[in-house]
Structure formats: structure tokens, C-alpha cells
Amino acid sequence: MSGLQVNLAGMLSLIQDLGRFGVAHQGLSSGGPADLHAHCWANKLLENSSNASVLEITMGNASFTALEDMLLSLTGAETAATIDGERLATWRSFVLHKGQTLKLGYAQSGFRTYLAVAGGFDTPQIFGSSATVVRNKLGGLADSQGSPIAKGDIIPVNNLAAKSVTTKSTSQWTPRYFIPKYSDEISLAVIESYQATQFDVEAKQSFYSKPYQISDKSDRMGIRLQGNSVQSGINGVISEGITYGSIQFPPNGQPIILLNDRQTLGGYPKIGCVSRMSLMKLAQARPGSLIHFYRGDIEFETRAYCQFIEFFSL
Amino acid sequence: MKIEVSRVSETSVIIYLGHSIDLTLIDKIALFSHTVQNRYHGKLYEVIPSYTTLLIEFHPLKVDAEELITWCQQQVKEILSAKALPSENKLVTFPVYYHPEVAPDLERVAQDRQMTIEQLVKLHSAKEYTVCAIGFAPGFAFLGSVDPKIATPRHNEPRLKVAKGSVGIADQQTAIYPQQSPGGWQIIGNCPVDLFNIDHDPMMPFDVGDKVRFEPVSRERFLQLGGVI
């Protein structure tokens, strides 16, 4: 088989496309890239559709060898990537020749790196998507049943990728303006909704007044935070649909921001949602980072997100 | 009651159709869910019904949120006030082997409720249940409601492993575990039928609003149907 051979898989490397939709009513999670911004740029640099399958690499420390010439791109967390020991510029497309090894160090800033190939990785679709959701045992490489990428795997590449090396030899890069500076202290816009109006006023104030720290128990299901305990005063919520970015408070009062692999229904009180643009920032914040919340404006946030999806034809 | 349709995020709205669990509401929510999907076909990401709510996730360039909210308010008013509803709901019957060898809590639940296993099985299999919501795990359907005489709270400590097909009770709800998973429900039987299979179309035999019945089967029949002891 031809493709990209995995020498070192890192902490968590997952095949992702935009996600699996129209299945939440059956209890399945959508999956999809935690950082939509870096995912979309990785594909755009190769003139791929935004839905092409890419590899989401958490915390770096991964290495791959090309089994044929291929055109790749690397965006997201900065990992001091090299090709056969030579430093590689990121947020660009580049050629990895047959036999060459691409190596990512530990992430130095940011948390998740996106590796894309021209034409997309050739992974099977289940319900219209290759997105890996480990807890649903779905997506990823053929017959992997939703497992993360492992050492020794060969990630198949569409033949198109090899052709692209000759036809698109000039490098594409992301304009500097669009490359975020990842930080370990960030502010997130909250769109108040769900039970927000029923929260105790003091509880709400305490939520906004001090930063929270990202716990190392966080994963793609939810970002767990540590800080001021928020006792909403709400006595039980009948299980309801949970949307992307919902902020829920279990009895211990420590907020959880629900991400791509979230459960579809839940009965904890929710103060609202982190805005879509803010979620892209959050995806690059590592455990230990500080999170400030501020009350966002739904109209402003919607306009920003609409511009984003228009730009990437989502 | 006041119908509440409210914006949840840039790309979603939620509709509250009631404030307490009410089985008659489930059919209305199921109908509303189908109506929304037909009208906005190709413009929605997800439509997620639950006991008293419907969450709609939409494409913000294809759907105008204000238009959607106004339409939902109108539509829900009509559905809630309708006397008779057109129903697309089906009835699905599942075979269940009720026996301690596949049901670790059967004897104790019967004892606690001061009845024989036979009486418990009879009460559990006599009712027609409604699929109120699907979640927790793929294909996990919350079925309402069991006879109050057999309603039993969950275990204080969830089991780490509940066998695939286990039929459980949690308070007034009952359900079948589609896959082996951790879980705290009281297990009183096992269903040998696949509830969630990604190779099947549809991958699940029911939808929210559908009706479910349990049919007690013998050990022999259970094994014939692929049951595992």
C-alpha cells in the first residue's frame, strides 16, 4: 500500500474531516476537528475541499515517512517540524519525497497540529464521514473501529496526491494575518442561553469574575475547568440536546465546555455556549492554560462565524 | 403552557414544549421533529428530540434564525393544540430472556418489590413503551414508563461492565444496552437482537416516538436468536 507510514504517533493522532452530521438523534457524536481554523487552512493550502480527511496531532511528537512523493501542509500548533533534519516552515504546502521523514517535535505553542495531503487521506466514510470518534468506535483508518493512529500504520493517500506534486509545485502559504499566536491565557466569548436566566445572580458573577484553569482531565468530549465553583441554584434539568461549546455545571460547580465528541443529551444546568470563533482558540489551549469568560454578543459572533464559513465554503 | 423557542448559539435554537416528563408530549415532539426536517431539508446539521425539547442545529448561511424561530412558534402552537396527530410511529417487539443467568438484578428487584420473578416479568412485558429519547450511547433508547410497582432506582455505584443486550430499569424508565458498557441500571433480562449496527440501514430499529414491547422468550429461543449466556 502507498501512503504515509507512521513511525511515531504522538499522544493522540486522529483522522478528522468536518464531522458526522445527521446522526446525533441516534446518540452518535459528530467528531470533527477541534480547531476548525487550522483544519480548514491545512486543506485550503492544498486546494482540497474543507471536508477532506486530515490528521489531527495532539501535542506533537510524531514522525512519518513518505512511501511516495506527496504534497502536504502543516498548520496549527508549532512543533519545530523537520524533513530529514532540515527545519520546515509551517502554514505552508510542501513536498515530502518518497523515503523522506517528516518529524514533529513536542508542541511549543498551541496544542493541536493539522497535517493534510493533497486530495485528502484516503479513509473510508461511515455515515458520510471519516471523522474519528474513539468513544463511538467510529471513523479513522479502514477496520480500525475508531482507534487513534498507531505506530506502524500506513495512512493511505489518494493517487491524486502524487500527481499534485508535479502540477502544483509552487508552495502556497497562509497570509501572516491569519496565523494566530497561541497563548496560555485566553478570553472566550459566551453566548448566554439554555438555563442562563435561571442562574443565581451571584453564581453568574463568580463565573465571569475570575479565570479558570484547564484541567489535564480534559479531552475531545469536554474541556474540564478548575476555578470558582458555580452553584446555579437550579434543581435538575430534564435531559436535552447539547450543542457544540455548551458550558455545563455538574454538582461540583466546576464548568465543562463540551466539544466535538460530546454526548448528545445531558441534564446538567448550562449557562450557554462558547462562541464558535472562541472554540477554535480553546482547541489550541493546553492543560494548565487560563481561561477568561466574557459575555458575547450573538449578532456579532454569528456574523464572524458566517464570514468564516463563507471564506472556507463550509 | 408558554412555548419557549430560544436561540442557543450562532447555529442552534431549542424549543421547550413542556416543563415535566409527559409521554403524550413525546409524540408531538417526534411529529414536530419530522416536520422541521422536511421543511428545512438539507439546511440542518442536527435535530435532537428529548423528553420536553427539540434542539435544532442549522447552517447559518442557509437558514435565517429569526425566520426559523417564528415558524417554530407557529408550528408548535398548532401541534400542541391539535386533538389528533398524524402518526408515523411504529411498534417494535423485542424478545427478552428474563432469567438470573443473564440478569444479575432480577431476583433482588423482585424481592425488593415483594413479588415473584414471574409477576415482575409479567408487569414489565405487559406494557407498551414509548421511545422518549436516544442518547447516552449509540442506540441507547430511554423508554417510558414502567409500571410504578416495578420502578427501581439505579445502583448507587454503577457497574463497570453491563453486558450487551441487558434490559434495565432506572426509576420509571427502562432500556436495552446496545453495547457492553458501564452502567447503573437494574438489569432484569437480556435481549439477543442487535440494536445498533452501522452496517444496517436504518442502523437502529426505532426512532423517538416509536413504541416498544418486550416479549418473554425461553432460554432455547434466546440462544437460537443469538443470545449469549
Q: What is the pLDDT of residues B216-226, one digit of tens each?
A: 999 999 999 99
B52 CA to chain A: closest CA distance, Å?
A: 7
List Cα–Cα distances, A170 to A86, A92, A164, A167, A301, in angstroms.
Answer: 19, 10, 10, 9, 36
Q: Cell numbers for B93, please give them.
A: 417487539
Strands (E) in A79-167, as ranges, are: 82-83, 86-87, 92-96, 101-106, 109-117, 154-156
Q: Which of B6, B10, B207 to mutate to test the interface with A (most CBs of A within 10 A)?
A: B10
Q: Which residues of B touch A301 (CB under 8 A)?
A: 10
B160 touching A (Cβ < 8 Å): no
Is residue A282 exposed (0-12), middle (13-18) or buried (19+ Cβ within 10 Å)? Answer: buried
Which stretch of A107-116, A274-283, B194-203 has the lowest confidence by average pLDDT?
B194-203
Is residue B62 exposed (0-12), middle (13-18) or buried (19+ Cβ within 10 Å)? Answer: exposed
pLDDT at B82: 83
- Nearest chain A residue to B34 by CA: give it: A25
**Residue range A9-28: mean pLDDT, rounded:** 96
**Residue range A229-249: mean pLDDT, rounded:** 93
Q: Please indicate whether, in this complex, the C-beta atoms of A26 and B52 are within 8 angstroms of each other.
A: no
Rg (CA), chain B: 19
Q: Please indicate whether, in this complex, the C-beta atoms of B48 and A306 are within 8 angstroms of each other.
A: no
B189 CA to chain A: closest CA distance, Å?
A: 23
Give the strands of the sheet with B12-16, arranged side by side. Answer: B4-9, B12-16, B53-58, B44-49
Q: Enter the DSSP assignment of B155.
A: P
Q: Which residues of A touch B164 (CB under 8 A)?
A: none
List Cα–Cα distances, B155 to B98, B147, B158, B159, B178, in angstroms.
Answer: 19, 19, 6, 8, 19
Instruction: Answer whether residue B1 shows pLDDT above 60.
Output: no
> Which residue among A23, A264, A302 places its CB closest to the CB of B60?
A302
Between CA B198 and CA B131, with CA B134 as vertex, the angle to 5 degrees is 115
Q: Where does CATH 2.40.100.10 sit in chain A?
A: 185-311
- The answer to whether the beta carbons of residues B178 and B196 sit under 8 Å apart is yes
Give the Cα separation of A16 and A129 in Å (integer). Answer: 8
Those residues of chain A whose CB sits closer than 8 Å to some CB in chain B are: 21-28, 30, 126-127, 136, 138, 191, 193-194, 238-246, 263-265, 272-273, 275-276, 298, 301-302, 305-306, 309-310
Q: Which residues of B touch A306 (CB under 8 A)?
A: 10, 60-61
pLDDT at B120: 97
ipTM, two decimals, is 0.95
Looking at per-residue pLDDT, the higher value among B21 and A43 belongs to A43
pLDDT at A162: 59
Closest CA to A7 of A217, A154, A121, A199: A154
Q: Please indicate whether, in this complex, the C-beta atoms of B9 and A127 are within 8 angstroms of each other.
A: no
Question: Tens digits of per-residue pLDDT, A159-185?
Answer: 766 566 665 567 899 999 999 999 999
Q: Please indicate whether, in this complex, the C-beta atoms of B53 and A241 are within 8 angstroms of each other.
A: yes
Share of chain A above pLDDT 70, in %: 96
A311: left (phi over 0), alpha (psi -120 to 50) or beta: alpha
pLDDT at A86: 97
**Residue range A180-193: mean pLDDT, rounded:** 97
Between CA B89 and CA B93, with CA B91 as vertex, the angle to 5 degrees is 155
- Nearest chain A residue to B50 by CA: give it: A240
Does a cis peptide bond (omega within 30 degrees of 0) precede residue A124? no
Q: Please indicate whether, in this complex, the C-beta atoms of A276 and B9 are within 8 angstroms of each other.
A: yes
Question: Tens digits of per-residue pLDDT, B165-190?
Answer: 999 999 899 999 998 888 889 999 99
Q: Taking the mean position of all CA atoms in its chain, how far away is CA B98?
A: 20
Which stretch of A173-177, A205-209, B110-114, B179-183 has the lowest confidence by average pLDDT?
B179-183
The architecture CATH gives domain A185-311: Beta Barrel (2.40)
pLDDT at A161: 60
B195 CA to chain A: closest CA distance, Å?
A: 11
Q: Which residues of A touch B198 (CB under 8 A)?
A: 126-127, 138
B205 CA to chain A: closest CA distance, Å?
A: 11
Q: Taking the mean position of all CA atoms in its chain, how far away is CA A268?
A: 24
Q: Please indicate whether, in this complex, the C-beta atoms of B33 and A239 are within 8 angstroms of each other.
A: no
B57 touching A (Cβ < 8 Å): yes
Residue pointed to by grid coordinates 515530502: A96
Q: Enter the DSSP assignment of A198.
A: G
Within chain B, how many helices (H) and strands (E) appear? 5, 13
pLDDT at A169: 60
B184 touching A (Cβ < 8 Å): no
- The answer to whether the beta carbons of residues A231 and A195 sit under 8 Å apart is no
**Residue range A268-296: mean pLDDT, rounded:** 97
> Which residue among B49, B54, B61 places its CB closest to the CB of A309?
B61
Backbone angles phi, psi at B33, to 5 degrees: -60, -45
Instruction: Answer whether residue B204 shows pLDDT above 90.
Output: no
- The answer to whether the beta carbons of residues A92 and A171 sit under 8 Å apart is yes
Strands B141-144 and A246-248: unpaired
Q: Cell numbers for B205, please give them.
A: 430499529
B156 touching A (Cβ < 8 Å): no
Q: Which residues of A touch B8 (CB under 8 A)?
A: 191, 193-194, 243, 246, 272-273
B151 touching A (Cβ < 8 Å): no
Share of chain A above pLDDT 90, in %: 92
Counting one residue from A and one from B, how many pairs have CB atoms under 8 Å apart? 118
Beta bridge partners of B57: B12, B46
- The answer to whether the beta carbons of residues A164 and A94 sit under 8 Å apart is no
B145 touching A (Cβ < 8 Å): no
pLDDT at B19: 87
> Which residue among B8, B21, B50 places its CB closest to the CB of A243?
B8
B63 touching A (Cβ < 8 Å): no
> Which residue among A238, A243, A302 places its CB closest to the CB of B55?
A243
- The pLDDT confidence band at residue A254, using thresholds 50, 70 and 90, is very high
Question: Tens digits of per-residue pLDDT, B54-70?
Answer: 999 999 999 999 999 99
Strands A70-78 and A185-192: unpaired
